[in-house]
Amino acid sequence: MSDDRFPGWHGTTIVAVRKGGKVTVAGDGQVSLGQTVIKGSARKVRRISPGGRDVVCGFAGSTADAFTLLERLEKKLEATPGQLQRAAVDLAKDWRTDKYLKNLEAMLIVTDGADLYVITGAGDVLEPEHDVAAIGSGGNFALAAARALSDSDLDAEAIARRALTIAAEICVYTNGNMTVETIGAAA
């Protein structure tokens, strides 16, 4: 069954790279409707601080849906301070089983600097291999580029920026207007 109310919504590339004790999450700024760029400067990477501990989140998919999920994640983190994995699993469980949430169309990458997860509406909480994760329309391009660069002398931020630039050169639904957040593991 297709949803004809919003045909052709595309956009977003989010990439996360863990290297040298830090995690960088980078996202492009393009939102498209069909062949039209609606906005080129959207912020799809955000830092939240539930309970005073920073967590960096990147999202792909419907913006309203992603904000709903970010709010839920923040509440889960407030209930389980410092336990990103538990909060992510609880969110994924709710997302999969809740009558309202299961219709949300988005994906999240979340990190507290130590842990890194991709959370999906299918109930997945995935810890990526090779310390690189990517989601969105240009996610596979960014993932391949970041993995290829991960053995270089570049740090996490430089790899994420370069991977997103490469994705923007290939994916028509990704631009080079980046939001970048870097976080280190809490001591």
**Quick one: tokens of 35?**
């062949």
Which position among 12, 13, 63, 182 bears the catalytic label? 12
> Distance of CA 18 to CAs 7, 69, 119, 134, 154, Å?
35, 23, 17, 12, 12
| DSSP string computed for 97-108 | H-TTGGG--EEE
Q: Residue 113, SS3?
A: coil
Q: CA–CA separation, 154 vs 162, rounded Å?
A: 10
The tally of CA atoms less than 13 A away on the side-chain side of residue 137 is: 22
User: Is 12 among the residues known to form the active site?
Assistant: yes
Q: CA–CA separation, 44 vs 138, rounded Å?
A: 14
> Annotated catalytic sites, by residue?
12
